[in-house]
Structure 1
Amino acid sequence: MTNQKVVYITGASKGIGEGIAAFLLNKGYRVAISSRSMEAAAKTAQKLGNAENVLPLQSDVRSFTDEQKAVAAILEKWGQLDVLVANAGVGHYAPIGELSHEQWNAMIDTNLTGVFNSTKAALEAIIKAKGYIITIGSLAGANFFAGGTGYNASKFAIVGYSQALMLDLRQQDVKVTTIMPGSVASHFNNNEPSEKDAWKIQPEDIGELLSDLLEMHPRSLPSKVEIRPSKPPVKA
C-alpha cells in the first residue's frame, strides 16, 4: 500500500482526460487512464512518461464488466483507488429529425450510463479510501441549444446524477463534484486542436482545477463548478 493517491480517469487517451492525467502526474499522483482502445491508452501513457506512475487500461464505459476489470487492475497494481474522474463522453449535434437512434444511444450510454457503470465499479474502493468522485459534465448541462437534444439530455442528466450521488455519499466521507466546462481546446466533436483554439479552456486548465479540488480542506465541497473561457471571441 502506498500513501500516494491513485486516480482513475476514464476516456483519457486525449483531450480533457489526457490533460488531467498530465497535470496530476506532475503533482505526484498515480494515474490510471482508460480508452476503448488499448493501443490508444498505451500510446498516451508512453507520451505522458513517468511509466511507474501510469497504468493504461482498455475499457468501454458502456460495459459494467469492462469497468469492473479496470478497477480490479488498478487495485492489483497499487492496492487502492482514491479518486474516480468520470470523463469519457461523446457528442452528436443535429436537429431532432436528423439525430439517429444510434447517435442518441451512444450519448446516453456513454455520457450517462457510462458514468453510472464507472461509479458502481469503483464505489467500494472509493468509500474505503474516503475518496472523491468527479464527473466531467458540460455547460450544456445548464444551457440548452438547438441541435442539442441528445447531448443536452445526457449532460443535464449527469448534473442531476452527480448532485444526488453527492447527497448519497457525503456522510461516508466521500466527496462528489461535477465540473461543467464550456469551450475546451480538445478533440471533441471531431475538432483538431490548433492555434484557432487558443482562446478556449485548455485541457491542462481542467487538470489544475481538479487538482485544486483534491487539495481542498475536507470540510468544504464545491459540488458543482462551472468553468468557461474568460474572453471568447465576439460574434459578429
Structure 2
Amino acid sequence: MKKTAYITGGSKGIGLGIAEALLKDGVNVAITARTQNDLNEAEKHLKTIGDAEVLVIKSDVRNLADEENAIQQVVDKWGQLDYCIANAGVGKFSSIDEMSEEDWNAVIDINVTGVFNTVKSAIPALKKSKGYIFTIASLAGTNYFEKGAAYNASKFAIVGFSQAIMLDLRSYDIKVTTIMPGSVATYFNGHTPTAADAWKIQPEDIGQMVVDLVHMNPRTLPSKVEVRPAVPPSARK
C-alpha cells in the first residue's frame, strides 16, 4: 500500500517541491492552499509526475475546522495518513514602530497557529500509522534580523513547538523534524525566482531532504535540520 502525505501551502515553492519529490517516490500526495486557481494549476502539474495519486483541498490553516476537514478527506480517500508537512507560511517585514497589528496577526496566525491547527488535526491518523510530522521553519528561527520581529517570533516559536511535540509524540512512534532553510528560490514575499537565484536552495532540494529523512532508519531522528546555501554571494571571493 502506498504511503500518503498531506502538505499545507503545497501549490507553490517549498510545498510544491516537497510534493514533487514525494510523488516521484511513489507517495500519494494531498496539497492545500487558500486559492482554488493555485490548486488547479498545481494539480495539473503534479498529475504529470509518477503514478501516485494527487488530491487538492482548499483550506485555510488559520481555521482548525478547515484542517480537520482536510485531514479527514485524506483519510477518507486513502484510508491513512503517513506524513504531515506543515509548510504554509507568510512573511511581513517592517520595523516594530511601523508594523501594523494586521501584519503581526497575519504572521502569527498563519505561521504559528496554522502549524498548530495542522499538526493537531493530523495526530489521530498519525498515531495509527506511526507517522512523521515535518514543520518548515527557517534559519530566521535561530538568527534574528532587523525588521524581522514578526517573522522571527513566528519561526522561533515553530522551532520550539516542534522540538516540544517531538518529545510529546515519540512514545507513539511518531517522528517530528523541523527543517530550517535559509535563502530559497521561491515566490515568497512577492519575489519571482530568476536565473540570478541559482545560488539559493531550490524547492526540490528541500523535497529531496524530506524523502531522504522518511527513508532513514527509524531508530534515528534528525529532529532539527538547518539548511543553507553552500556558497552565498557574500562568501564568494
TM-score > 0.5, shorter chain as reference: yes
Deviation at 1:87, TM superposition (A): 0.1
- Where do residues 169-184 of structure 1 align in structure 2 (5 Å cutoff)? 169-184=169-184
Q: Partner of 2:149 in structure 1?
A: 149
Distance in 2 between the 1:193 and 1:98 partners? 28
Distance in 2 between the 1:101 and 1:11 partners? 23
Deviation at 1:97, TM superposition (A): 1.1
CA contact under 8 A between 1:34 and 1:58: conserved in structure 2?
A: yes
- Secondary structure, aligned partner of 2:210: helix
Q: Partner of 2:64 in structure 1?
A: 64
Distance in 1 between the 2:52 and 2:76 partners? 14
Corresponding residue pairs, total: 234
Unaligned runs of 5+ in 2: none
How does the TM-score come out when normalised to structure 1?
Answer: 0.97
Deviation at 1:39, TM superposition (A): 2.4
Aligned Cα RMSD in Å?
1.2
CA contact under 8 A between 1:42 and 1:57: conserved in structure 2?
A: no
Deviation at 1:38, TM superposition (A): 2.2
CA contact under 8 A between 2:130 and 2:173: conserved in structure 1?
A: yes
Distance in 2 between the 1:35 and 1:84 partners? 15
- Secondary structure, aligned partner of 2:92: coil
- Secondary structure, aligned partner of 1:234: helix
Q: Are 1:36 and 2:34 matched, yes or no?
A: yes
Unaligned runs of 5+ in 1: none
- Secondary structure, aligned partner of 1:135: strand
**Please, which of 1, 13, 16 is the counterpart of residue 14 of structure 2?**
16
Q: Are 1:208 and 2:208 matched, yes or no?
A: yes
CA contact under 8 A between 2:18 and 2:204: conserved in structure 1?
A: yes
- Where do residues 82-121 of structure 1 align in structure 2 (5 Å cutoff)? 82-121=82-121
Aligned-pair identity in percent equals 57
How does the TM-score come out when normalised to structure 2?
Answer: 0.96
Distance in 1 between the 2:39 and 2:66 partners? 14
